[in-house]
Structure 1
């Protein structure tokens, strides 16, 4: 991502709480992700209801990089990582990677925050929604409340908030401060509205998901050093070793 685009995206996130990034995935990548997501949904069909991964509003699959190689391959430097680094710091990490569809004829989600502790002006987490199908108001486009990331009042009535529905072409994404109000809208069509949800965090806050603990050993072995860093490998508190009489951990020699 060009420096000017990074700066513009950061400014919009800090001011409005969200920005749109065009062309995150090309048509081939979108098609591959759609096929892979349907594969994961099919593999989890026997447990989705019991796990409450299938609801009247949506169907979700969590930690996709641990479940399909197509999604692990997406965990690498790119425009979203560039933007996250500009907002959260160059040492930011992936915090989650899920897939979701707003179920045809389903209800919408209520407005909510993914990060419930207000830190106005200092984003700790970014949430990215990448459209795999075209997002429209009718099929459940993500909606956001501009400026809600700057509020420290978690008790303010969300249902009265002015929302913006983000209509996107496949492959484009909305990136927002996870402290802001947002939701998937009701899908009033008879077709799915599928998306990837990719989360980023500052290095020193706890990610939503443990990538090193979730990936199979063979999958982790194929990662280069930068991808390992992005997925949180080695991102541990410093520890003191009595025998060596020195500290070991992130940033320590």
Structure 2
């Protein structure tokens, strides 16, 4: 496992991305695919329930998968190799309140997407570029279906994570496709310029997109405040750390003075934090 993780860490260091084949078996990916297809058909009738269509050629999007079903949490925590990769890029070695062997990075956003007719423009997920060996965010893309150029696969500009620049429209000519099979995982240094090809195949291309960040950054949603109790109680302490429960900011100085907390701060329920 350590050897595998070291190989993928080196690939991400050099190129800004890697593909890890066969991480999740069909008995994992198939139920998730069935859930998303059914959920989207049902909830698209009501735009206020968490799914939406962006102006991206009828892309299908489902947000906050960590709240939908525990099966989606299995993809966040089900691969030791991916955890080692994430710790290598995002763990804070000075976070002494948590065990050094565990994660102290947190989840920023977790969504599912099936691309539509229009290509997804090149962008970065780290929000701002920076130069150097340290990134603030890593995106993990779990393929639930085969993705190729015909159905709008992910495209990247290798090495662009070290450019220190925002992407420009003309840079799309430098992008290369990243084909992958169901169960494969694509890991991106979130500074890399990436997007997707157009999907004119008539086929879906569902993938899960989990972006992880360093513990001191702001999460994209209030994940600790809104995680369902039935999900929370099924998570182990390290998984609750990743959800952000050990880095909740204090209410004020009468509460505490730091957002850097240890496992002893974890509470028996989500409501207990409120």
Unpaired segments ≥5 residues, structure 2:
92-102, 265-274
Counterpart position of 1:107 = 118
Unpaired segments ≥5 residues, structure 1:
none
Counterpart position of 1:145 = 157
**1:153 Cα shift?**
2.6
**1:3 Cα shift?**
1.1
Asked if the contact 1:9/1:19 (under 8 Å) is kept, the reply is yes
3-state SS of paired residue (2:40): helix
Asked if the contact 1:40/1:67 (under 8 Å) is kept, the reply is no
Give the distance between the partners of 2:222 and 2:110, measured in 1 at CA.
Answer: 11
TM-score by length of 1: 0.87
**1:155 Cα shift?**
6.1
Counterpart position of 1:12 = 11
RMSD value, Cα: 2.6
Asked if the contact 2:247/2:261 (under 8 Å) is kept, the reply is no
Give the distance between the partners of 1:232 and 1:214, measured in 2 at CA.
Answer: 11
Asked if the contact 2:151/2:205 (under 8 Å) is kept, the reply is yes
Map residues 1-253 of structure 1 onto 2, 5 A cutoff: 2-48=1-47, 52-55=52-55, 56-76=57-77, 78=79, 79-89=81-91, 90-103=103-116, 106-121=117-132, 122-154=134-166, 156-237=168-249, 247=257, 249-251=259-261
TM-score by length of 2: 0.81
Cα displacement string for residues 68-112 of structure 1 (whole angstroms, at most 9, x for unaligned residues): 232134332523222111221242122221111013xx1111111
Give the distance between the partners of 2:72 and 2:154, measured in 1 at CA.
Answer: 21
> What count of residue pairs does the alignment treat as equivalent?
248
3-state SS of paired residue (1:70): helix
**1:44 Cα shift?**
1.8
